[in-house]
């Protein structure tokens, strides 16, 4: 019981492959099987990681950021390479581009890939390819550790916002399973629960893939946090009945103006929270902020297969299945990051705020 008893979502280390050969591996929980089975699988190639990301075996913005970085480390450590630095660097660019485009919406994926590719690129330029694998491995291990530390800081910063005895509602899974460990929105919930600030959590089912019912409710139950699942279309009614004191969600990409992409359904939740005067918070690491995009309309939205929504034997309806939607900054009462909480302030030019202001937040 307790959050510390949860399994880690991603782990790196030397492991035996199917042929009994010792290789650098990335172990993940196969999240497609949860909650029925918590199976750990180990991946040894970057192609296997791309497939795991696309099939939602590993998912959630921070987790796919570290998994994407891990894909590059697997390529550097396990695959044969041209030892000429220019040829190596060109192949690295090709693999990095392929991994970064595995899913389009969460900016953390390309962020993680860039971090490790940059570290390898610098090592190769300085000393040739000999140490590239060691550099890549050290870099992903550092990123994995930093992710957990970041989530714990998000948790501590967010917990302070909640009055004692709060009941909160969350959408999708922004928990330990969506990160290396601990979670972002659920990180806030774990920290606040320990302090008595949260007494109950309402989990949106999160159609069509069911991250809320399959992952969040499972994870919270394992951690001993009291929770209830409702269908997505029941959230507004819970608010109307006075059962929700705050909404906390994660994010896949936050634009410079604060517009935020998160799991589809987040936008209607924010509208319902606004109508009922319930604070709506986004919890995310600063690596989820994309200052290169001015506003939400520029965020690439992933569309997924219609069979996720409707799979019948005799009938195949036309299906609309965006995996994410955009919540405008005007509906968000605060961004809970590892560096502090940013609250929207109306600026002279009429914009709510600019997340470049983040640089002014003193690190904890
Ligand atoms: O399609 P998914 O399951 O990867 O979507 C995940 C979400 O939308 C999460 O809320 C988001 O990535 C934040 S995870 C800390």
Give the confidence band of 257 by pLDDT, cuts at 50, 70, 90: confident
CA dist., res. 151 & res. 166, Å (int): 21
Instruction: Specify the pLDDT at position 128.
Output: 86
Share of the chain above pLDDT 90, in %: 88
- How far apart are the CA of 61 and the centre of ligand 1, in A? 5
Query: 3, 223 in Cβ contact below 8 A?
Result: yes
Mean pLDDT of the chain: 94
Helices 46-54/61-78 angle, 10° precision: 160
Least confident of 169-178, 289-298, 345-354: 345-354
Q: Mark whether 252 is an active-site residue.
A: yes
CB 204 within 8 A of CB 171: yes
* 353, pLDDT greater than 80: no
Is the Cβ atom of 266 under 6 angstroms away from ligand 1?
no
184 lines ligand 1 (CB under 6 A): yes
Q: Is the CB of 337 under 6 A from ligand 1?
A: no
Q: Ligand 1 centroid to 130 CA: how many Å?
A: 37
| CATH architecture classification, 3-151 | Up-down Bundle (1.20)
CATH number 3.40.50.10470 given to 158-360: yes
Exposure class string for 250-288: b at 16+ Cβ within 10 A, else e: bbbbbbbbbbbbbbbbbbbbbebbbeeebbbbbbbbbbb
The least confident of 202-211, 212-221, 242-251, 351-360 is 351-360
**CA-64 nearest atom, ligand 1:** 4
Q: Given the residues 147, 245, 252, 290, select the one marked as catalytic.
A: 252
Could you please report the per-residue DSSP string of 116-167? HHHHHHHHHHHH-STTHHHHHHHHHHHHHHHHHHHHHHHHHHHHTTSPTTEE
Could you read off the pLDDT of 70-88 as tens digits, one per residue? 999 999 999 888 789 999 9
Q: How far is the CA of 125 from the centre of ligand 1 (A)?
A: 36
Q: Which atom of ligand 1 is nearest to the CA of 183?
A: 15
Ligand 1 pocket check for 170: Cβ under 6 Å: no
- Tell me: pLDDT of 363 over 50: no
Specify the DSSP class assigned to residue 8: P
Of all protein residues, the one whose alpha carbon is nearest to atom 6 of ligand 1 is 60
Q: Provide the pLDDT confidence category of residue 357 given band limits of 50, 70 and 90.
A: low
CA 20 to chain centroid, in Å, comes to 33
Q: Say whether 158-360 and 3-151 share the same fold.
A: no
Cβ contacts of 288 within 8 Å, gap of 6 or more: 61, 62, 106, 107, 108, 251, 252, 253, 254
Alpha carbon 348 to chain centroid, angstroms: 33
Q: How far from 158 is each of 32, 283, 313, CA to CA, in Å?
A: 29, 8, 46
The DSSP secondary structure of 286-312, one letter per residue, reads: GGGEETT--SGGGSPPPB--GGGT---
Q: In what order do the strands lie in the sheet with 253-255?
A: 289-290, 253-255, 260-263, 324-327
Q: Is the pLDDT of residue 57 over 60?
A: yes
Q: Measured from the CB, is residue 172 less than 6 Å from ligand 1?
A: yes
Which ligand 1 atom is at minimum distance from the Cα of 284?
15
Q: Domain-by-domain residue ranges, the chain?
A: 3-151, 158-360
Which amino acid residue places its CA nearest to atom 8 of ligand 1?
263
CB 357 within 8 A of CB 331: no
Does 31 contact ligand 1 (Cβ within 6 A)? no
Give the whole-angstrom CA distance, residue 138 versus residue 325.
35
The stretch 294-300 carries a mean pLDDT of 95
């Amino acid at each position: 019981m307790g959050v510390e008893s949860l399994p880690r979502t991603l782990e790196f280390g030397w492991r035996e492959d199917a042929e009994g050969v010792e290789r650098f591996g990335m172990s993940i929980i196969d999240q497609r099987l949860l909650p029925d089975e918590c199976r750990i699988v180990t991946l040894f190639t970057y192609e296997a990681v791309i497939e795991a990301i696309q099939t939602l075996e590993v998912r959630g913005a921070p987790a796919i950021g570290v998994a994407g970085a891990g894909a590059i480390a697997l390529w550097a450590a396990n695959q044969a390479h041209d030892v000429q630095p220019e040829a190596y660097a060109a192949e690295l660019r090709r693999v990095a581009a392929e991994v970064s485009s595995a899913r389009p919406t969460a900016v953390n994926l390309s962020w993680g890939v860039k971090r490790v590719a940059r570290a390898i690129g610098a090592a190769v330029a300085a000393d040739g390819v000999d140490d590239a694998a060691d550099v890549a491995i050290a870099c992903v291990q550092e990123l994995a550790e930093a992710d957990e530390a970041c989530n714990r800081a998000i948790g501590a910063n967010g917990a302070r916002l909640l009055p004692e005895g709060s009941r909160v509602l969350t959408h999708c899974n922004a928990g330990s399973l969506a990160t290396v460990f601990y979670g972002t929105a659920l990180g806030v919930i774990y920290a606040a629960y320990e302090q008595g600030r949260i007494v109950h959590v309402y989990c949106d089912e999160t159609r069509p893939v069911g991250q809320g019912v399959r992952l969040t409710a499972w994870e919270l139950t394992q951690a001993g946090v009291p929770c209830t699942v409702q269908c997505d279309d029941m959230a507004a009614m819970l608010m109307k009945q006075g059962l929700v004191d705050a909404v906390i969600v994660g994010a896949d990409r936050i634009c410079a103006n604060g517009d935020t992409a998160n799991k589809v359904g987040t936008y209607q939740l924010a509208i319902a929270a606004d109508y009922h005067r319930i604070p709506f918070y986004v919890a995310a690491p600063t690596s989820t902020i994309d200052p290169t995009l001015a506003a939400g309309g520029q965020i690439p939205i992933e569309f997924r297969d219609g069979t996720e929504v409707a799979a019948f034997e005799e009938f195949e309806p036309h299906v609309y299945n965006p995996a994410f939607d955009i919540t405008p900054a005007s509906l968000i009462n605060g961004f809970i990051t590892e560096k502090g909480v940013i609250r929207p302030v109306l600026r002279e030019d009429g914009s709510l705020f600019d997340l470049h202001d983040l640089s002014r937040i003193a690190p904890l």
